[in-house]
Amino acid sequence: MPASAPARSARRPLDPTALARQQRRLLTAAEPPWLHGEVARRMAERLPVIKLQPQCVVDWGAFVGASQAVLAAACPRAQCIAVEPDAARRDATAALLQPAWWSARRWHRAPQAMLSGALPAGAAQLVWSNMGLQGEIDPQRTMAAWHRVLVIDGFLMFSTLGPGTLTTLQALYTQAGWPPPMAPLVDMHDLGDMLIEAGFADPVMDQETVTLTWPSPQALLAELRQLGGNVDPRRAAGLRTPRWREQLHTRLQRLAPGNGPDSRIGLPFEIVYGHAFRPPPRPRLTARTEVPLEDLRAMARRTPPRG
């Protein structure tokens, strides 16, 4: 698929108003969710698959992704650009990234914060997106934006929640006859297909299940709220009653394996990891073929001279 072709829509059935409200809450929190930082650490363990050290790394959704420390450790010589979805979050992230006056990073490749639209095409050798794709209505359109930002042979690494997330909680709601507690998530095989449609090559997808535990239903619900909210259009309309909340607490407590003081409630989170690279452009030949100038230059650089 040529880089200039529009991405096919792969919109998810989410409530856009509820999603925007959830994203604002995540972006204005004092710090990103703990789980995001843990997934960033695990994803960084996969960075050795990249043989060449990137000169520029784009950290897509930097604040929510909680990856600044692991990227700085893994790519110490790279220029890091933190991409944020709006100007307010960009400015807040820029303040967080500002090096101390004595730091060498102030003078050499100091981090920047930008909006995605301000990034030039082919800006980076590595695009990194940690735990942000589950908040996108149209994941494939976001993948097309990643594709645009990468140089030829540039590498993409991302993580997101998969449909094996909170299956125990979903079963609890179904058994109680309640509307779904969360919107459906995209299967990793479908994500791989979307990567190819967006122009990437050789996508590799894998997943793992992380089980978090809590001492009480109240602690569980508080952390789930920090991770996001229910953006399924089929969710219960209006406010729920204190009586309903007590029923929820009772049902959640039954998920604990025992009644002892150390008994904790556990819920699974499926973490999907993906990586792919941007291949050389392959223009589709027709009676009239248009190829972007940057693609022609890239193809010329890759074509060996004939002897």
The mean pLDDT of 271-297, rounded to a whole number, is 76
Confidence of residue 190 (pLDDT cuts 50, 70, 90): very high
Report, in angstroms and rounded to the nearest whole number, the Rg of the chain calculated over CA atoms: 22
Report the distance separating Cα 26 and Cα 53, nearest Å: 31
The mean pLDDT of 251-270, rounded to a whole number, is 87
Backbone phi, psi, residue 199, to 5°:
110, 0
Q: What is the pLDDT of residues 64-83, one digit of tens each?
A: 999 999 999 999 999 999 99
Res. 255: pLDDT tops 70: yes
Confidence of residue 282 (pLDDT cuts 50, 70, 90): confident
What is the predicted pLDDT for the residue at 100?
Answer: 52
Confidence of residue 239 (pLDDT cuts 50, 70, 90): confident
Of 6-20, 89-103, 204-218, 233-247, the least confident: 89-103
Average pLDDT of the residues of the chain: 88
79 forms bridges with which residues in the sheet?
56
**Whole-prediction pTM value?**
0.86
**203 vs 288, higher pLDDT:** 203
* Domain residue extents for the chain: 16-167+184-210+271-300
**176 vs 261, higher pLDDT:** 176
Confidence of residue 291 (pLDDT cuts 50, 70, 90): low
Q: What is the pLDDT of residues 87-138, one digit of tens each?
A: 999 999 998 887 655 455 554 566 799 999 899 999 999 999 999 999 999 9
Q: What topology does CATH give the domain 16-167+184-210+271-300? A: Rossmann fold (3.40.50)
Backbone phi, psi, residue 90, to 5°:
-60, -45
What is the predicted pLDDT for the residue at 262?
Answer: 72
What is the predicted pLDDT for the residue at 52?
Answer: 79
